[in-house]
Homo-oligomer: A and B are copies of this chain.
Amino acid sequence: MEETAKNEHQWGMLLDQLKKEDINAFRTEYLDMHPYDQAQFFQEQGRDERLLIYGYLSPEEVAEIMENIEIEDIEPFFSEMDPRFAAMVFADMSTDDAVDILNELSKDKVASFLTIMENDASDEIKQLLHYEEKTAGSIMTTEFISIFKEQTVKATMAQLKKEGPDAETIYYLYVVDEDKRLVGVLSLRDLIISEEDTLIEEILSEKVVSVSVAEDQEEVAKMMRDYDFLAVPVVDFQDHLLGIITVDDILDVMEEEASDDYSKFAAITDNERPNENALISAKKRLPWLIILLFLGMLTASLIGRFENTLDQVAILAIFIPLIAGMAGNTGTQALAVAVRGLATGEYGKQGKFKLILREAATGLITGTVCGIVITLVIYLWQGDIFLGLLVGISIMATLVVATLAGSLVPLIMDRLNIDPAVASGPFITTINDIISILIYFGMATAFMGFLI
């Protein structure tokens, strides 16, 4: 990882060979790099250099590069390739990666690529294109190794040597019956420590854990994390083996889901890409902003009801942002704890009740501490102990209620089968604005006698 200097030198050399059209030297040097590094170099080049690269490499070699480019950045490359070449590249990619990319392209383009492609490759891809996004079906690959109970270890090793190079993993072999139903699994580990003439049925494990093709990808990720699997088979409702999901794809899923949760928390309707333009960004953020604008109007009209109180004691207005802000902050904290806990499945039924009790107690402690601090500060600053007490007690009450709201809202959403992550920070903040203002002005109106 401290190889940046070396990389720059190497890149310079590659670029040189590319421009001098020294095909052989370029191929030797370039293909010797890890495919991820090949992709990094490729993406930094201009269109002219890229067209040269397509010319120097085989579709299979370009396919390996494409598999290492972020899905969102890949479309322009396929558009600039000769369509026949592009179709060959697709045919040479892992089916799961090819499908991911095709899902990003327009329907017309997909149709034209599939027409050019050879039949067997396009059939597999067509089938995978049917699965819904973010399900096991959409991230699985069909390049797995399946064996029969009746084979020997020796025959299986021979099969591995033949099919191994094209398979996504050779570390698990899936045992199927004549109807392609999944009946067992064998790890390569168990295979190589067995004698050559052993039958597969003597060493396979029948307790194979599989996922349904319609399973949510986040659930698959959680399962692979819990069980430490390197791959998991995907089956339909009759237990037919359809594909496998490997751990490298799960790493990408986890990254994607973490970004998703993060975006929802910040009230953005969809993940944003760094190279997106402002109009698209604005479109993703505006729905929430408009909703929050109207919730804000509600807050404003609430304060409007206390206009009398405000007219008499204008200084009250000074502390509105402070109280509303503290309510928002503490609510956001409680929300994050609850959402995260729900996402990782840490709560049982009693756990939720205990969480609420704990949040109430936490709110009481933080509220008391902050309340005392603010009372003292205001007393020292404004010399008015009643104003200090009013703000201090309001903060205390607000923090208890806001902390509770921050944990209750996601729990209720979860109960109603709404993704609790949409209970975003800004949403909770606005709810808590309203609660805090009711408490503050309610108390101020009640005890106004002491303030004037």
Say yes or no: is A437 at the interface (Cβ < 8 Å to chain B). yes
Contact B303 A321 (CB under 8 A): yes
A188 to B192 Cα, complex, angstroms: 10
Say yes or no: is A32 at the interface (Cβ < 8 Å to chain B). yes
The answer to whether residues A292 and B373 also contact, given A258-B254, A268-B333 and a CB cut-off of 8 A, is no
Say yes or no: is A141 at the interface (Cβ < 8 Å to chain B). no
Contact B322 A255 (CB under 8 A): no
Say yes or no: is A209 at the interface (Cβ < 8 Å to chain B). yes
Contact residues in B for A311 (Cβ distance below 8 Å): 314
Please give 18 more A-B residue pairs, beta carbons under 8 A apart, in addition to A274-B354, A303-B321, A324-B325.
A170-B189, A171-B171, A247-B247, A259-B344, A262-B339, A266-B335, A274-B337, A275-B354, A278-B359, A279-B365, A282-B366, A301-B318, A307-B315, A316-B317, A320-B321, A325-B426, A328-B429, A429-B429
- For A436, the closest partner residue in chain B by CB is B321
Say yes or no: is A114 at the interface (Cβ < 8 Å to chain B). no
Contact B1 A321 (CB under 8 A): no
A229 to B66 Cα, complex, angstroms: 17
User: Chain copies in the assembly?
Assistant: 2
Contact A282 B362 (CB under 8 A): yes
- Which among A21-29, A116-124, A176-184, A218-226 touches the partner chain? A218-226
The answer to whether residues A266 and B336 also contact, given A326-B292, A362-B281, A373-B293 and a CB cut-off of 8 A, is yes
Say yes or no: is A164 at the interface (Cβ < 8 Å to chain B). yes
A–B complex contacts, Cβ < 8 Å, 26 sampled: A34-B207, A225-B248, A225-B251, A225-B255, A258-B261, A262-B265, A262-B340, A263-B340, A273-B346, A274-B347, A274-B355, A278-B359, A278-B364, A281-B358, A285-B362, A286-B366, A289-B326, A289-B329, A293-B326, A303-B317, A304-B315, A311-B314, A320-B321, A324-B324, A329-B429, A332-B425
Q: Which of A304, A320, A329, A430 has the most CB of B within 10 A?
A: A329
CB within 8 A of A317: which of B223, B320, B335, B361? B320
Contact A333 B267 (CB under 8 A): yes
Decide if the interface of chain A is mainly helix, strand, loop or mixed. helix
Say yes or no: is A133 at the interface (Cβ < 8 Å to chain B). no
Say yes or no: is A369 at the interface (Cβ < 8 Å to chain B). yes
Contact residues in B for A374 (Cβ distance below 8 Å): 293, 297
The answer to whether residues A340 and B277 also contact, given A224-B251, A228-B248, A321-B433 and a CB cut-off of 8 A, is no
Say yes or no: is A142 at the interface (Cβ < 8 Å to chain B). no
Chain A 217-261 near chain B by CB (<8 Å), digits 1 or 0: 001010111111010000000000000000110111011001101
Contact residues in B for A207 (Cβ distance below 8 Å): 32, 34
A256 to B32 Cα, complex, angstroms: 35
Say yes or no: is A199 at the interface (Cβ < 8 Å to chain B). no
Say yes or no: is A203 at the interface (Cβ < 8 Å to chain B). no
Q: Which of A258, A301, A330 has the most CB of B within 10 A?
A: A258
